[in-house]
Structure 1
Amino acid sequence: MKGHWWSCLLGLLCMPAGVILSTWTVSQEPMSISQVRLNTSMRITCSTSLSETMGVYLHRSFHGKNDVVFLALDKGQVTKDTIAENFAGRIRIVNEQQTAEGYRFTWELSLLGLDDTDLYYCSWVYFNSEKGNQETRSSNGTIILVRESDPREQCRHNIDGLVFIALSVTAFTAILSLIIGAVVVRFKRFKKKFRPARDVRRPRPNRPQHVCPHQTVQHYPYLITSENPLDFRGIL
C-alpha cells in the first residue's frame, strides 16, 4: 500500500499540464484522495460543457494508463462498453443527465479490491468543428485508496484502546490507593493500642548454703586439758 501512496502522490505532481489547463470545460468529482474499505463502492461523477461530444472514457493512470470503461454518445443514445476485464460487472451508471451545457455521468465502481487503488480520470472525446478533427479533454483525477479497514475506524479503535488502558490504569491506581490507605489506618490503630510487655526477670535459683559441721568437743579422759598442774580431773 505504501507503493500506491507514493505512486498517487507522484502522479498528482507529474500530471500533464494539458490535463490541468483543460479542466475549465470538464470537471470531475470528487477531486481529492478518497479512502475506501475493501469490497465497498466508490462513485465518480464526470461532467462537460463541450459541444458535439462523442463519448467519454474513464481511465486509470498508474497501471499502464488502461481504459476502464467507455460511453459512446450518438444523438443522445448512450452505449456502455466496459473495456477492462477486471472491472466487468463492477461498473454501472448511477445517473446520466444531458443538459443544455453538455453531459453529466456518475459511475459507481463496486467490490473494490486492493489492486484497484489508482488515479481515475475522465477523458471526453468531442469533434472540434473549427479544426475539423477529433480531440479529447481530460479532467483532474480522483485518487482511490482501497484499504482493508477504514482509517477513521482504525483511529477510533486506537482511541478506544487508549481510553481502555487509561481507565484500567486509573482503576488500578484507585484500588492500590485504597489498599495502602487501609493498611496505614490499620497500622495506626495497632500502634495506638499497642502496649509493650514488661521484662519479667526470672528468679535466680537458690544457691546451696555451705553448712559447716559443728565442732564437737572430744573428751579425752586421760588427757590433761587444763593448764593448772594441780587439777587432777584428768587423772581421776
Structure 2
Amino acid sequence: MMKVHWWSCVLGLLCMPAEVILGLGTAFQSPSSISFMRVNSSAEITCSTSLKNPMGLYVYRQFHSEKNIVYLDLMEFSITKNTIYNTFTGRLHVTPAKTVTNDHHGFTFQLSLLGLEDTNLYYCEWLYTDTQFNKRQVASNGTIIIIKEGGPEEQCKNPILDLILICSSIGAFTVILLIFIIVLIMRCKRYKKKFRPAVPPPRPPRPQHICPHHHHPYLVTSVSTDINMDVNMDVR
C-alpha cells in the first residue's frame, strides 16, 4: 500500500507540467485520473487532437529506459504505418476513437496483460507542421496507470488479516512461554522436596605410630655388674 501511495504522489506531481500544455487546447488525453488496475487486466488510453492534419502520433511512458510504446504514421487521420515496440508486441490494440467530438480526432490504445512493471505515466505526443512547414510536437496530459496484485477490496482486507495474524502469533507465543515457565517452576519445587544432601563416606582410621623399644644389652650388663659388686662389698 505504501508503494502505491508513493507512486501516486510522485506521478501526480510530474503530471503538473503536462497539464499546462493541455491548456493550449490542441491535444487531449483520457482518462486523466489515476487508474488502479489488477495484474493481467487491460487499460485503455484515448488520445485526441484538434489539429487539422497531424503527421503522426507517439505514445510514450515517462519512467522507463525504453519510453516508446507505439508510433502511428498518419495521413488525414488514417494510419499508413504503425510501429509497436517489442515490450508491447501482442499486447497493444489500436482503434479509431469513438468518443471524440466532430472537431477532434483521435485513437484509442488498449494495453492488455498488464504487469507490475507497467505501472507508469503514459502520454501522447502529436507531430504536425506549422505555417512555415516546420515540424512541431504537442503533448497531451498524461494518464497514470498503477498496477497491483489484488483488487481494492483485497488490498483493504490485507492489513486487517495481517494484524489478526500477528496478534494470534503473539498470543500463542505468550501462552507457550507461560506454560513453559509454570512447568519449570513445578519441576524445581519437586526437586527441592526430594533433594537430600549427600553424606560423605566415613574416613578410614589413621594408623597409629608406635615407637619401637630399643634394648641396650651392654648398658644393662654394666649396671648389673655394678650392683653385684656393691652387694659383694657389703657382704664382706
* TM-score for the superposition, normalised by structure 2: 0.59
2:19 alignment partner in structure 1: 20
Determine helix, strand or coil for the equivalent of 1:93. Answer: strand
Structure 1 range deviating more: 55-64 or 80-89: 80-89
Residue type at the aligned position of 1:69: V
Task: Quote the offset at 1:83 in angstroms.
Answer: 3.6
Residue type at the aligned position of 2:20: L
Task: Quote the offset at 1:22 in angstroms.
Answer: 2.3
Distance, in Å, in 2 between the alignment partners of 1:42 and 1:142 is 10
Change (3 A) 1:8 1:54: farther
Contact 2:54 2:74 in 1 (8 A): yes
The question of 1:91 aligning with 2:102 is answered no
2:38 alignment partner in structure 1: 37
Distance, in Å, in 2 between the alignment partners of 1:39 and 1:117 is 12
1:188-203 correspondence to structure 2 within 5 Å: none
1:74-85 correspondence to structure 2 within 5 Å: 74-85=75-86
The question of 1:113 aligning with 2:115 is answered yes
Change (3 A) 1:154 1:4: closer
Task: Quote the offset at 1:154 in angstroms.
Answer: 3.4
Contact 1:8 1:118 in 2 (8 A): no
Distance, in Å, in 2 between the alignment partners of 1:55 and 1:21 is 22
Contact 1:123 1:138 in 2 (8 A): yes
Change (3 A) 1:158 1:8: closer
1:3-14 correspondence to structure 2 within 5 Å: 6-7=6-7, 9-14=9-14
1:170 alignment partner in structure 2: none
Task: Quote the offset at 1:8 in angstroms.
Answer: 5.2
1:72 alignment partner in structure 2: 73
Determine helix, strand or coil for the equivalent of 2:121. Answer: strand
Higher helix share: 2
Distance, in Å, in 1 between the alignment partners of 2:87 and 2:76 is 30
Contact 1:69 1:80 in 2 (8 A): no
The question of 1:52 aligning with 2:63 is answered no
Distance, in Å, in 1 between the alignment partners of 2:56 and 2:2 is 35
Change (3 A) 1:99 1:55: farther
Contact 1:7 1:62 in 2 (8 A): no
Q: Mark the structure with the bigger radius of gyration.
A: 1
Distance, in Å, in 2 between the alignment partners of 1:140 and 1:46 is 10
Change (3 A) 1:81 1:103: same
Determine helix, strand or coil for the equivalent of 1:20. Answer: helix
Distance, in Å, in 2 between the alignment partners of 1:44 and 1:14 is 18
Contact 2:74 2:81 in 1 (8 A): no
Distance, in Å, in 2 between the alignment partners of 1:152 and 1:46 is 31
Change (3 A) 1:128 1:2: farther
User: How much is the aligned-residue C-alpha RMSD, in angstroms?
Assistant: 3.0
Task: Quote the offset at 1:56 in angstroms.
Answer: 1.0
* TM-score for the superposition, normalised by structure 1: 0.59
Determine helix, strand or coil for the equivalent of 1:10. Answer: helix
Change (3 A) 1:2 1:93: same
Contact 1:4 1:117 in 2 (8 A): no
- Residue deviations 1:63-86 (CA, integer Å, cap 9, x gap): 136110111111343145234211
2:216 alignment partner in structure 1: none
Q: Where in structure 2 are there 5+ consecutive unaligned residues?
A: 162-236
Contact 2:59 2:70 in 1 (8 A): yes
Change (3 A) 1:80 1:151: farther
- Residue deviations 1:190-225 (CA, integer Å, cap 9, x gap): xxxxxxxxxxxxxxxxxxxxxxxxxxxxxxxxxxxx
